[in-house]
Amino acid sequence: MKRFRVAIVEPSAIVAEGLESMLSRYAEYEIVYNVRSLSEYQSQRASDPDVVLLALQYAHEDVGQATKIGIQTAIADSDTLRQFQATVSIYSSADELAKILREALDSPADTNFSDSHELSERERDVLVLVAKGYTTKEIATELFISPHTVISHRKNIVHKTGIRSVAGLTVYAVLNKLIDSEQL
């Protein structure tokens, strides 16, 4: 089994130590750096890790060839989130965290969400219903489409926004004025 070298760059010791503890449950991940600032990471770095879990405040920083995953501890705008190949939330479970890392590491390294296209009208419709808490089956019924089509739209939304969680997609919908927070 290949072991992936992981760096954590997060100012909050509680968040950083929690991520390290969660990833230590999986033999495929080795934490090589757990630091509180980007400058500390850059000064200590002897070799490039495979993936860097990075606080959102460092969204525009270059981490070399490593897969760049954002650590979302607060609401962030879509432009910031698009700087990352994927994001994890402070609400993610250990299994979700490992899954997000695996998917990001398995996807092409040249994926750049900042080059993504705008959401189509139908994808916006699906996103609004996701934000309102509808299930895939309920969305299909509401929009008169098949559940498989809803799943395809949701995959496209995740690809275009770089946001995987329902909570993150809800925040995205509110920030981009697709839905009023009063409707939630």
Q: Is the domain of 87 the same as that of 19?
A: yes
Last residue of a domain, one of 55, 79, 114: 114
Does residue 175 sit in the same domain as residue 99? Answer: no
Q: What is the pLDDT along the chain (184 residues), one digit of tens a residue?
A: 789 999 999 999 999 999 999 999 999 999 999 999 999 999 988 888 999 999 999 998 888 889 999 999 988 887 788 888 888 988 889 999 999 998 888 875 544 444 445 888 999 999 999 999 999 999 999 999 998 889 888 988 988 888 888 888 998 899 888 998 887 7
Domain of residue 80, CATH code: 3.40.50.2300
pLDDT for position 53? 97
Element (DSSP H or E) covering residue 17: helix 13-23
- Answer with the one of 84, 114, 144 that is the final residue of a domain: 114
Question: Measured between alpha carbons, how far is 69 from 91 in angstroms, rounded to an integer?
Answer: 15
What order of strands is seen across the sheet that includes strand 67-72?
29-35, 4-9, 51-55, 67-72, 86-89
The domain in which residue 85 lies consists of: 4-114
CATH number, position 172: 1.10.10.10
- What is the predicted pLDDT for the residue at 111? 45
What pLDDT shows up at residue 114?
43
Predicted confidence at residue 117, as pLDDT, reads: 58
- DSSP code, position 64: T
Residues 30, 45 within the same domain: yes
Give yes or no: residues 96 and 34 share one domain. yes
102 with 58, same domain: the answer is yes
Final residue belonging to a domain, choices 114, 144, 162: 114
Q: How many domains does the chain have?
A: 2
